[in-house]
Chain A
Amino acid sequence: DIQMTQSPSTLSASIGDRVSITCRASQSITYSLAWYQQKPGKAPNLLIHTASTLESGVPSRFSGSGSGTEFTLTISSLQPDDFATYYCHGYKSYPGTFGQGTKLEIK
């Protein structure tokens, strides 16, 4: 079973900051990595798939990079709507594995 390790678990930042979240896979998943945003009481929302492809409708301040075992989600300039929990999802093997989540808080 492939394990996904996400860091940090909590991130405090201010409006306008550039922030990054890292996800590491226990073995290579090539580019089979997605990122989701989840707000309290809501279902997750797909932001990025195939490691770096922005889902339609997602603001361009979100970007993804990486391949193999190490991946990064970057938000270039934090907006008030971005404070939420973020999850990575490795899907090279079915059904896939989520990272533990990163809660992005207002500093």
Chain B
Amino acid sequence: EVQLVQSGAEVKKPGQSLKISCKGSGYSFDTHWIGWVRQMPGKGLEWMGIIYPRDSDTKYSPSFEGQVTISADKSISIAYLQWSSLKSSDTAMYYCARRRASSGGMDVWGQGTAVTVSS
């Protein structure tokens, strides 16, 4: 079964760092782009960025460039999303998703990682 499994919920304080993960299985991880999507409470979906695990080519949405870092370790089929200094406004659900190989559209999604940042 093709799936993406994300790391568990996190509760952090402002200023702390965080790295969440997304593990792929059931397919060739390094040949599909993996994207990260933010959903703030009660709000819509926002693209953060996307990475190609084979060569770590990464593209960020302008709103998130410099705010987060996306990386991947193809040897263990894991993509990461990390923050160096969290803000309360980073409180959200974060999803990873796989881009279809032959055409666009994100066809497999992780279950989501809830991040709460509060003092």
**Chain B proximity of A101: nearest CB distance (Å):** 4
Contact of A49 among B45, B104, B112 (CB under 8 A): B104
Interface size on A, residues (CB 8 A): 26
A7 at interface (Cβ–Cβ under 8 A)?
no
Interface contact A43-B95, CB-CB below 8 Å: yes
Interface size on B, residues (CB 8 A): 27
Interface contact A50-B104, CB-CB below 8 Å: yes
Most buried by A among B46, B47, B50, B95: B47
> Which A residues, 30 to 73, have Cβ-Cβ distances below 8 Å to chain B?
32, 34, 36, 38, 43-46, 48-50, 53, 55
Contact of B104 among A36, A91, A100 (CB under 8 A): A91
Q: Which residues of B does A touch, CB under 8 Å?
A: 33, 35, 37, 44-50, 59-62, 95, 97, 99-100, 103-107, 109-112
